[in-house]
């Protein structure tokens, strides 16, 4: 008797590590979406790490809210949020439950389902189809309704696949995009060297606010 082997996904143990271990290890891995019945697979080439309540750049820095609750749950789930009134961004929850660390998926290369991606992003060049966190999320066809999706289940509509990890000597690191304040100098953005699909670095422009400064980060800066 023959049958189809189950799809191999990254196990939860992969994500249940320190965020700074998981983030660079995600480069070269793939995320697959079946949103709208149109399978799309992307190979990750740029990510950013956010360390929860010890990280001024993180959405979780000031504690748990209805918006960021998924970050405090088990590792291996998707944290999807809406920003600037127009963009969705997707992150992968990491570490121990209750610590709220996560990795923002910043840029990727389409490896399957390019037709569906081009329908969703008809004016994009090949380099720009998933270049930047908002474009990446749009390419996958997901929105806030996918928040909390378990990425470690083979039949999930959004899942993480092993792909081909990138060797350490091909990984670059530097400051996160659009992060201001105390978290600005943290070199927690990781990307594949010389990859044209990596997004453009833009430092945050600090804006005066009344009272304490709100953390800017976790894609709170550039989303394109």
Alpha carbon of 219 to those of 51, 75, 144, 149, 204: distances in Å?
A: 14, 19, 15, 19, 11
pTM: 0.88
Digit-coded pLDDT (tens) for 68-101: 889 899 999 999 998 766 789 999 999 999 889 9
Q: From the CB of residue 69, how many other CB atoms can be counted at a distance below 10 Å?
A: 14
Q: How confident is the model at residue 27 (pLDDT cuts 50, 70, 90)?
A: very high
What one-character DSSP code corresponds to residue 103? E
Q: Does residue 116 belong to any structural domain of this protein?
A: yes
Domain assignment of residue 124, given as a range: 12-192
Per residue in 137-190, pLDDT tens? Answer: 999 999 999 999 999 999 999 999 999 999 999 999 999 998 878 787 889 999
Residue 200 within a domain: no
**Residue 211 placed within a domain:** no
Question: Does residue 188 fall inside a structural domain?
Answer: yes
More confident call, 96 vs 215: 96
Decide which of 206 and 162 is more confident: 162
Which range of 19-23, 49-53, 219-223 scores highest in mean pLDDT? It is 19-23
pLDDT(201) > 70: yes
Please give the pLDDT value at position 220.
34
User: How high is the pLDDT of residue 84?
Assistant: 67
pLDDT tens for 36-72 read: 999 999 999 999 999 877 777 778 777 678 888 898 9
Give dist(CA 8, CA 163) in Å, integer.
10
Higher pLDDT, 68 or 134: 134
Within-domain flag for 198: no
Q: What's the total number of domains in the chain? A: 1
Residue 50 lies in a domain: yes
93 in a structural domain? yes
CATH number of the domain that residue 86 is part of: 3.10.300.10
Does the residue 17 lie in any domain?
Answer: yes
Task: Give the confidence band of 5 by pLDDT, cuts at 50, 70, 90.
Answer: low
- How far is Cα 223 from Cα 90, in angstroms, rounded to an integer? 11
Higher pLDDT, 97 or 23: 23
Which residue did the predictor score with more confidence, 221 or 135? 135
- In this model, does residue 33 exceed pLDDT 60? yes
* Residues forming a β-bridge with 109: 43
| Mean pLDDT of the region 190-218 | 70
SS3 of the chain: helix, strand, coil, percent, to 5: 20, 25, 55
167 CB-near residues (< 8 Å, 6+ apart)? none
Mean pLDDT of 88-116: 95
Find, among 41, 48, 40, 58, the residue nearest to 22 by Cα.
Answer: 48
């Amino acid at each position: 008797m023959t049958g189809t082997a189950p799809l191999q996904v990254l196990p939860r143990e992969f994500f249940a590590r320190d965020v700074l271990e998981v983030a660079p290890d995600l480069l070269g891995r793939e995320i697959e979406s079946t949103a709208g019945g149109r399978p799309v697979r992307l190979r990750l080439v740029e990510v950013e790490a956010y360390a929860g309540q010890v990280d001024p750049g993180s959405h979780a820095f000031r504690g748990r809210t209805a918006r960021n609750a998924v970050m405090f749950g088990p590792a291996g789930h998707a944290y999807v949020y809406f920003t600037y009134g127009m963009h969705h961004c997707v992150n992968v929850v990491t570490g121990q439950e209750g610590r709220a660390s996560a990795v923002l998926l910043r840029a990727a290369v389409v490896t399957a389902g390019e037709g569906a991606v081009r329908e969703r992003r008809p004016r994009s060049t090949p380099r720009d189809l998933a270049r930047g966190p908002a474009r990446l999320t749009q390419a996958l066809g997901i929105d806030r309704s996918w928040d909390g999706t378990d990425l470690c289940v083979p039949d999930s509509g959004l899942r993480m696949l092993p792909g081909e990890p990138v060797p350490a000597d091909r990984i670059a690191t530097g400051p996160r995009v659009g992060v201001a304040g105390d978290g600005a100098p943290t070199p927690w953005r990781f990307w594949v060297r010389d990859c044209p699909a990596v997004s453009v670095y833009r430092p945050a422009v600090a804006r005066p606010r009344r009272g304490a400064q709100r953390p800017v980060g976790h894609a709170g800066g550039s989303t394109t």
